[in-house]
Structure 1
């Protein structure tokens, strides 16, 4: 009642009527009837005037604004404040103030998110332009050199064609990695979960990369418990890619010319399998560790092109493991090496049967 135009008009009209009565009572010739009539007229006139003013010029306009803001907020953010527009309030502006504040906070959050996304897009465009530029320009150089006459020299021709093909392979790998990462992040790629033996999968990856490790003078080791097949549940192809990327990086960035080692270890716990990939390379500086799972981030920026990576491998690893409800962790000491590890569920043989 007190928060409505009727209640406020009644209180103010009573006060005005009492003030008129009090003023007339100070006059010597004022009778009681005169005082009562004057107070009644003042009360009635004041009540009607104040009620009409508040109801039609204040409360209804505020109510319309409040309802409009509610609709905008509900349409834009799917929620409104819990207080109903007809509920009583000592201050008629309190509710609208709440809605405006709530809407302003939501809008500011949206602006912050848009600014962050815009910055991310600018960085991404800059990164992808830089990554595409190198193989494209290199390939153009080789082909134009051949077109300018070097194609007649068989030895130069084969050499330049091989280099152009190598750059195009790098470009193809970059595009495929970008597509894969985009599909995973957008949820367009499906995970096909099934039971598989993790030990056999690791042996397959080691067999694939063993020649590359040997060429770099790096020995690959596989540590596991004999008699355990490490049966797990997940997307076998994508876990293969995770281990492949981790081993590829451990081999590629192990700069030891003598005594380089990369070790894969499987540890079976009560309900999970811990997978670790350890190297004794240069290690990763502490300030770089928090960034290594970002797109195109490389610790060795000056020599990254020679390594042959796309800068997307660890970002793909991170998202694949998140799809398996797992996380990749890393510990590293500069000059001693790094350890990347993650876990997968362990399925016991009797449960599988």
Structure 2
């Protein structure tokens, strides 16, 4: 759910939910209190309108006592001179928020309130003898604000007696007080529950994911990338969490790649340093021999100079590999693609290899099964680098004391030219075969120092072939030999529609 949608829903919940539940609570409480009022006060079918009219309710509450007193006035008027009777009636009226006041002429003989109601007595003069009946009241305005019912009586000694039921119209029914109290508590509970619910909802959808993002940011700041950020919360926050998780994974991959790169660079420098040290030591020794006059014959001098030349070529090859390696990582290999006749190109390669391998006492054979007119689009220099790297790697791991042999075959396989370079070395174990084109991977770590090499020869081969749109792979049998394969797509003229 989007944050905008959640905010809109929250707004309507804040407005509507309290109203709805408050209305339901008011209806439930009022129905209950209506029943209590009807049972306790005898008000039939009370309504919200009647309850809102306090004067009507108060007037109705004292009707029964007024009727009883009217009957007493007619049948036993002398009771209005009986203080015990008057106290009993006053006690009943007090429960109805009223009190009793009795006058005999102008003299007040009984009043049922705590303090003498002088203001009421003074204002009663205008209401006396209104003869309104037992069930009706007269409103007394001014500062008194009361309802008055008058019951007239006469005795042998009292010719002009009146009993007044005075009701305070500002008194609220206990049931209404209870209703208001319950509604107040209910409203507070509803608002609190709504606020807590919405706070939890917003917290779960927004604040909690942001807290996790802040924690994740702090961990990244401290260099810890070994965790994950779950995608949750509102839509916008979930998208942010997903982007953050993608960023964390990328940072972790970059950090791991940097560790690998640093390790490979150190290994490359170590390998190159080791391999350069050997020919440099040899060159230094032979130069010192020449300087010291050890090469005192033309034959020795020629052999010394030839050895120095070969060692210099070896160092040049290592430096070229290092240069190529740096360009390979930045994808800045300077390719020069041209049309190349396959037969002519590999005939030249075979001739150069034959001279080089013969000098190393290595048997070499060459077979070409491709028609002279077949061409490929390739960089001749880099393809020659591929062949030389494979051959160099093959010679490096040919068993000691065994006549070394290299076979070069070039075949036409449909739309591709397939080149095969076979040796009779120790072979490669099946578990190592898938990894031989990885950088710095060696099948036997124990032979690293003795065999030397930068460890990137075959990875360079793989890179060059991928950039040519071809591929390279190998098959091998231990103690028998290895065959390296690489393929190049043939160049085909596209016919022009006439």
What TM-score results when the alignment is normalised by the length of structure 1?
0.71
2:123 pairs with 1:123: no
Structure 1 residues 142 and 279 mapped into 2: Cα distance closer, same or farther (>3 Å)? closer
Contact 2:341 2:372 in 1 (8 A): no
> Can you give the 5+ residue segments of structure 2 that lack an aligned partner in the other structure?
38-45, 53-178, 214-231
**Could you say which residue in structure 1 is the equivalent of 2:463?**
319
Instruction: Output the CA distance in 2 between the equivalents of 1:15 and 1:239.
Output: 83
Contact 1:209 1:248 in 2 (8 A): no
What's the CA shift string for 1:192-232, capped at 9, x where partnerless? 22211122222222211213322444322222226444311
2:299 pairs with 1:155: no
Contact 1:231 1:349 in 2 (8 A): no
> Can you give the 5+ residue segments of structure 1 that lack an aligned partner in the other structure?
70-91
Instruction: Output the CA distance in 2 between the equivalents of 1:300 and 1:156.
Output: 39
RMSD: 4.6
Contact 1:192 1:234 in 2 (8 A): yes
Instruction: Output the CA distance in 2 between the equivalents of 1:17 and 1:160.
Output: 110
**Could you say which residue in structure 2 is the equivalent of 1:235?**
379
- Residue from 340, 362, 386 that aligns with 1:196: 340
The Cα shift of 1:16 comes to 3.1
Q: Which moved more, 1:266-275 or 1:254-263?
A: 254-263
**Could you say which residue in structure 2 is the equivalent of 1:106?**
246
- Residue from 18, 25, 32 that aligns with 2:48: 32
**Could you say which residue in structure 1 is the equivalent of 2:418?**
274
Q: How many residues align?
A: 325
Instruction: Output the CA distance in 1 between the equivalents of 2:370 and 2:431.
Output: 39
What TM-score results when the alignment is normalised by the length of structure 2?
0.53
Contact 1:283 1:334 in 2 (8 A): yes
Structure 1 residues 156 and 122 mapped into 2: Cα distance closer, same or farther (>3 Å)? farther
**Could you say which residue in structure 2 is the equivalent of 1:82?**
none
Alignment of 1:60-139 (within 5 A): 62=206, 93-95=233-235, 98-99=238-239, 101-135=241-275
Contact 2:268 2:455 in 1 (8 A): no
The Cα shift of 1:332 comes to 0.8
Structure with more of its chain in helix, by fraction = 1
The Cα shift of 1:336 comes to 1.3
Q: Which moved more, 1:22-31 or 1:116-125?
A: 22-31
**Could you say which residue in structure 1 is the equivalent of 2:349?**
205
- Residue from 23, 39, 45 that aligns with 1:17: 23
The Cα shift of 1:323 comes to 0.4
2:488 pairs with 1:344: yes
The Cα shift of 1:279 comes to 1.7
**Could you say which residue in structure 2 is the equivalent of 1:6?**
11
Structure 1 residues 175 and 238 mapped into 2: Cα distance closer, same or farther (>3 Å)? same
Instruction: Output the CA distance in 2 between the equivalents of 1:162 and 1:349.
Output: 47
Structure 1 residues 4 and 245 mapped into 2: Cα distance closer, same or farther (>3 Å)? same
Instruction: Output the CA distance in 1 between the equivalents of 2:480 and 2:438.
Output: 23
Instruction: Output the CA distance in 2 between the equivalents of 1:145 and 1:228.
Output: 48
**SS of the residue 1:328 aligns to:** strand
Work out which structure has the larger RCO, using CA pairs closer than 8 Å and 6 or more positions apart in sequence: 1
**Could you say which residue in structure 2 is the equivalent of 1:182?**
326
The Cα shift of 1:8 comes to 1.7
